[in-house]
Structure 1
Amino acid sequence: MPKRVLQGVVVSDKQNKTVVVKVERRYTHPLLKKTVRRTKNYHAHDEAQVSKVGDQVWIEESKPISKLKNWVVLDNAPKA
């Protein structure tokens, strides 16, 4: 099974080697036919500690690293 890869924005980098990434997904509501935005926060492992608040990053699913961390930061995307 392939690992999931998500794109999001770093909202916290206060922890050591950990960043909190906010990922937004959009979908059309089946009854209302309106676009709905849902956000979720993921704790991701950032070994190099290069991600800062506001950075766009790609995160990849991985084996559990700690109680909350199951994701690894892949790459910083350029700010748009």
Structure 2
Amino acid sequence: MNKNKNKKIFFGKVLSIKNKKTIIVLVKILKKHYLYKKFFFKKKKILVHDEYEIAKLNNIVSFISCKPISKKKFWILKDIINNDTKSN
């Protein structure tokens, strides 16, 4: 039986890589207002566990839910979608 069957996959942009084995990811969720039926974005910062520290700043990553790793970390890095790093 597939253990990842009921787990939700999210996508977001890496905001910070300052912590060891932890990245901060910004996730935008499209929602619809219940009364006015207007669409809007909700933003949330999520702490994601990055075991091998492969994510870089401004990368687009996907991550999946897991059992709690610490007080605020419930997510683990799945893979890097887009390397959006630009050199100046």
Aligned with 2:61 (options 57, 63, 67):
57
Aligned with 1:2 (options 6, 14, 32):
6
Provide the residue aligned with 1:44 in structure 2: 48
Q: Which has the larger radius of gyration?
A: 2
In 2, Cα distance between equivalents of 1:32 and 1:53? 37
Task: Number of aligned residue pairs: give it.
Answer: 80
Amino acid at match of 2:44: K
In 2, Cα distance between equivalents of 1:68 and 1:30? 29
Question: Identity over aligned residues, as a percent?
Answer: 34
Amino acid at match of 1:11: L
- For structure 2, which runs of at least 5 residues remain unmatched after alignment? none
The structure 1 segments of at least 4 consecutive aligned residues displaced by more than 6 Å after TM superposition are none
Question: Normalising to structure 1: TM-score of the pair?
Answer: 0.91
- For structure 1, which runs of at least 5 residues remain unmatched after alignment? none
Question: Normalising to structure 2: TM-score of the pair?
Answer: 0.83
In 2, Cα distance between equivalents of 1:63 and 1:39? 23
